[in-house]
Amino acid sequence: MGKYQEPGRSAQRSERITRRQLLAGAFATAGGLTATACRRSSLTAGQGAPPDPTKVQGLPPGDAAGRRSPFVRLTREAGWTFWSYTPLGNIDGIITPSDLHYEVHHAGAAVVDPNRWTLTIHGMVERPIVLNLDDLRKFPSLSRIVFLECSGNSPVSWRSAGSPQDTVQNLVGLTSCSLWTGVAVSTLLREVGVKAGAKWALAEGSDAAVMTRSIPIEKLMSDAMVAYGQNGEPLRIAQGFPARLLLPGWEGNTNIKWLRRLELADAPFMHKEETGSYTDPMPDGKVRQFTFVIEARSIITSPSGGQTLPGPGFCEIRGLAWSGRGRINRVEVSTDGGGAWLPATLDEPVLPMAHTRFRFPWKWDGREVVIESRAIDETGYVQPTRAQLVKVRGTGSIYHFNGIQPWRVTPDGKVTNAIA
Ligand SMILES: Nc1nc2c(c(=O)[nH]1)N[C@H]1C(S)=C(S)[C@@H](COP(=O)(O)O)O[C@H]1N2
Ligand SMILES: [Mo]
């Protein structure tokens, strides 16, 4: 018998369920209703399913049945100590399951007690305030599907274009998309009254990095949100529980998590994340600062690096496209190394500043081929090739790469990074 019991269930009842499940050979999950050595061992993928599930009672309603099937392996692959990648090659649709949302935190994911958390809005305002979580949740709410992307997604693509073994997860996995719920920052700023001359706000996190970024007031007054909800539940710890700044379409770093302070001022604060990090050395020797908007990008998620095609024949090419400047208008796919570009189908909904799913029917003839996609957003911007990007930007940066990513399919069906 494990220690945990569902409220209202007697020990005997839990015992009965345990025995029944064991007899049925059904699986349970670690930390679930009960946890005995025996039930835990049946968690291994490929075990625990009865040969004929119509002949045995299934799992009772509850946590165990709500878990991902033990036959499904979906994990965020750890990058470096600070980040983990969304498994873009193994998920469908446009919403990233919350536990698979990529994470970047410069000093670990802060564990914040929601009862002690506060948000202070001060500086060039008429009426400074300190809000607790209940106060925040009382304001009119809004929900919106928005992608996030770390501007350091694909840092290797600038210098070396990666290695042949790259997967879509480790090359481009620092982007995800969720339904965020929260309060418009414009609502909060109206509450405090912005003083004339205030042009920027410092957003500050309550993590050990005390992450701080300067954000122009225009962005805060247009579509910025203080989000407390993610895909219908409170934010996950890694996403900034209990509340984060959400700036649709802007580089991930500006979306301050574990947000505790907004300080209004007449100039940017020039903290290290906007003077050292997240800036782009340009070929003319200057450094570009405050590159906020994520430019249009797309990626074929399947078939993609590390995957193997079972053989020639029909294969639906699938991928994701997004733009920080609005909606994706078109995605084009080439299956001949960039010669001909044909339109892919965009799956509804096609939302501004959200991942957009595209699909392209393809028949692989079994010969070596290079497949790639390019996004065109509603401003008419066309996603460039890596060569085009490097021509303008040089190779001095590790940020803001959005070049086309080609994949090579060899006759044995293996898929590799074609520009490595
Ligand atoms: N307080 C705080 N906010 C932060 C960070 C951090 O380290 N601390 N990392 C930033 C970076 S670099 C990115 S890309 C995004 C990542 O958001 P996610 O972890 O929810 O995907 O959060 C940003 N907000
Ligand atoms: Mo980031």
Same domain, residue pair 335 and 255: no
Separation of 252 CA from ligand 1 center, angstroms? 6
The answer to whether position 398 is within a domain reads yes
pLDDT of residue 156: 83
Instruction: Indicate if 270 and 383 belong to the same structural domain.
Output: no
The residue whose CA has the least distance to atom 15 of ligand 1 is 252
The CATH number assigned to the domain holding 270 equals 3.90.420.10
Q: Is residue 13 part of a domain?
A: no
Q: How many CB atoms lie under 10 A from the CB of residue 389? A: 21
Give the span between the Cα atoms of 301 and 93, in whole angstroms.
Answer: 11
Kindly give the distance from the C-alpha atom of residue 179 to the centroid of ligand 2, in angstroms, as a whole number: 19
Gap from CA of 285 to ligand 1 centroid (Å): 29
Determine the pLDDT at residue 287: 95
CA distances from 269 to 152, 196, 238, 262, 273 (A): 22, 18, 26, 12, 10
User: Of 259, 288, 317, which marks where a domain is finished?
Assistant: 288
CB 255 within 8 A of CB 238: no
Q: What is the pLDDT of residues 129-146, one digit of tens each?
A: 999 999 999 999 999 999
Does the beta carbon of 106 sit less than 6 angstroms from any atom of ligand 1?
Answer: yes
Same domain, 164 and 260: yes
Ligand 1 site-directed mutation target among 151, 257, 274, most atoms within 8 Å of CB? 257
The owner of tokens 């693509």 is 157
| Residue whose pair of structure tokens reads 């509603």 in the numeric block | 378
User: Does ligand 1 have an atom closer than 6 angstroms to the CB of 236?
Assistant: no
d(CA 398, CA 292): 15
Q: What was the pLDDT predicted at 154?
A: 86
CB of 250 shorter than 6 A to ligand 1: no
Task: Say if residue 363 is in the same domain as residue 316.
Answer: yes
Write the pLDDT tens digit of every residue in 81-115: 899 999 999 999 999 999 999 999 999 999 999 99
- For residue 216, being part of any structural domain is answered with yes
Residue 357 CB less than 6 A away from ligand 1: no
Residue 372 maps to a domain: yes
Best mutation site among 86, 151, 211 for ligand 1 pocket (most ligand atoms within 8 Å of CB)? 211
Per-residue pLDDT of the chain (420 residues; tens, 9 = 90+): 233 333 333 333 333 334 344 334 343 333 333 333 334 333 344 457 889 999 999 998 888 889 999 899 999 999 878 999 999 999 999 999 999 999 999 999 999 999 999 999 999 999 999 999 999 999 999 999 999 999 999 888 888 888 899 999 999 999 999 999 999 999 999 999 999 999 999 999 999 999 999 999 999 999 999 999 999 999 999 999 999 999 999 999 999 999 999 999 999 999 999 999 999 999 999 999 999 999 999 999 999 999 999 999 999 999 999 999 999 999 999 999 899 999 999 999 999 999 999 999 999 999 999 999 999 999 999 999 999 999 999 999 999 999 999 999 999 999 999 998
Dist CA 131 CA 44 (whole Å): 46
Structural domain includes residue 59: no
- What pLDDT, on the 0 to 100 scale, is given for residue 29? 39
Number of structural domains in the chain: 2
Query: pLDDT value at position 310?
Result: 95
* Nearest to 366, CA basis, from 317, 311, 406, 314: 311
For the Cβ of 148 lying below 6 angstroms from any atom of ligand 1, the answer is yes
CATH number of the domain where residue 338 is located: 2.60.40.650
139 and 259: one domain?
yes
Range of the domain at 358: 297-417
pLDDT, position 47: 58
Residue 420, pLDDT score: 87
Amino acid 162: pLDDT: 85
Torsion angles phi and psi, residue 117, rounded to 5 = -70, 140
Longest C-alpha distance within the chain, in Å?
A: 75
Beta bridge partners of 172: none
What is the DSSP-derived secondary structure letter of residue 98?
G
